[in-house]
A and B are shown apart, each in its own frame.
Chain A
């Protein structure tokens, strides 16, 4: 790769029942919090983690695990794509109550 920074990755998936995005914490399990997700610096380790979590797919706890790219700066880890940043925030990026007339009448 042209990029010589280490490629950080994380394992993400969704809960089967609610579909919320979740992150794999090595040795512990799944967390709703991106910040708690385990960072994998080399590809073999990331692949091994992805293989390990397949058991949760079989057990019908999670769906669709995959690896995401993460960059680390002074504020900590952050997904490299807009998509994953929005997923990690667990919500739409605008105020979902904006449409309520009570809110609108108030402003």
Chain B
């Protein structure tokens, strides 16, 4: 993984000291809250319902075991012993004190981490496929480009006061595990007809109040032109994005109002002027960064390991976990293991300091010390030998981290919601907990099959509800929590935006309503292998509506 050189290390130290100074000026009264707010946000520090919240960047979702241990240390020392992994592959601490944050950041800097640009109207932490570098059929490794983008975007002098936040994601395969087209810029690494590597730019996607699937604005940008094309895109947005209305300030609105083609033309015009300048990426720098992502020292192993296959058959629980929680690896004899942070009844994405330490140790023992964070709020050990899986599983089970539910209905994405978040309408986590208890039987889960259930506590959609096969959105009705359900969304390569099922449900009705939706699917599916989303696409929303709101009066929600 990437390691800081003297420049990166100096920079992060200087940024930490700058923030220390900003906090001191706030406390000394040189900055009002109004002036301080954008400064603290640019360093990931929010003021939430009960306390400050610090969002720490995990660039492109990659962590070392050493960094994970530091995250555990911070959870213990500056928080209440846990942290929350987010849909942007970051981690959030819910309880730091303002005057502790500079020291906390200094601890992070020791392990080459920071909270730079994890909030604010600037270019946010770049995200990527969590299986980058280990998945077969990858055109190129997104982490290399994620790191290049991280450096380019860090304290960008021109793009630090954008109309609104700006999120970039990178993927390197046809399969989209990073919700690429829900980003302000989604980058897909591709090859052109001449076989050269470059980027397809999907610009102007987004969730929130106005969910939009990012249109393809340019099919191929050569790799040396990546930064100049990014610069040109951001410049057009910075100058022309709306600043009069916060709900219309994202680049997606600009792209929609101009049309993708006209927007692309404006970017092109700007880009042609700057393409052959210092922004051209030197091959030597790409090579330097790439060298950090060289594969670890894999052993030569057979693809088929008889003892492992036998164990899978002999132990049904182990077999189920392997089927749900491992992904195929590009190297024979290896696999990428998902550790579900959604055990039954847990807060999705939360991990305690103890669990973080255990995951760090297991990654040292079994995965070359590498760890990934997924946008579905799980953890991945990307390089595990198949022959070690049984031992790993046994150890994970001992600490309650072996839930075999990746990709199933209880693998719920949930934002912090009204339990923590200042902007929330309704709680997300307790809804997720109730659902996860309702759907706790592993056999039932695998019978239901792949089902993406996503919950957001408000229309900001941090919980990706628009693109869940089933989405739940918290709404406020006269100060009380209600939940609107959407069906048919997807964030993968078959991306779609969910449709609203009907009137919202109360906190006490929502679990039953979701169960009805799922039971309806079971009745409607053509065969057990037809996924929820495919059944929905085949039959449409009506049959679900009928079942949920239909005949029985008792089922009809009280509201509206």
Measuring CB to CB, which residues of chain A are less than 8 angstroms from any residue of chain B? 14, 16-21, 57, 60, 63-64, 69, 80-84, 86-87, 90-94, 96-102, 104-105
Contact = CB atoms under 8 A, between A and B. Distances in A.
A92 B420 contact: yes
Contacts, number: 102
B29 A83 contact: no
A60 B418 contact: no
A99 B481 contact: no
Contact of B400 (A83, A90, A101): A101
A92 B27 contact: no
Interface in B85-101: 94, 97-99
Contact of B33 (A64, A90, A91): A64
23 contacts: A14-B47, A18-B97, A19-B47, A19-B52, A60-B29, A64-B47, A82-B426, A82-B476, A92-B50, A92-B94, A94-B429, A94-B430, A96-B80, A96-B347, A97-B81, A98-B345, A98-B433, A99-B346, A100-B82, A100-B354, A101-B399, A104-B346, A104-B400
A57 B80 CA distance: 27
A19 to B, nearest CB: 4
Contact of B355 (A92, A93, A96, A99): A99
A21 B420 CA distance: 12
A93 B427 contact: yes
Q: Which of B49, B81, B430 has the most CB of A within 10 A?
A: B49
- Give the 9 A-B CB pairs with smallest separation, nearest first: A81-B479, A92-B419, A101-B399, A104-B400, A101-B400, A19-B51, A99-B350, A100-B352, A19-B52
Contacts of A17: 97-99
Interface of A is mostly: loop
A100 B97 CA distance: 23
A94 B352 contact: no
Nearest to B26: A60
Contact of B50 (A19, A100, A102, A104): A19
A94 B347 contact: yes
A100 to B, nearest CB: 4
Interface string B9-53: 000000000000000001101000100000000000001111110
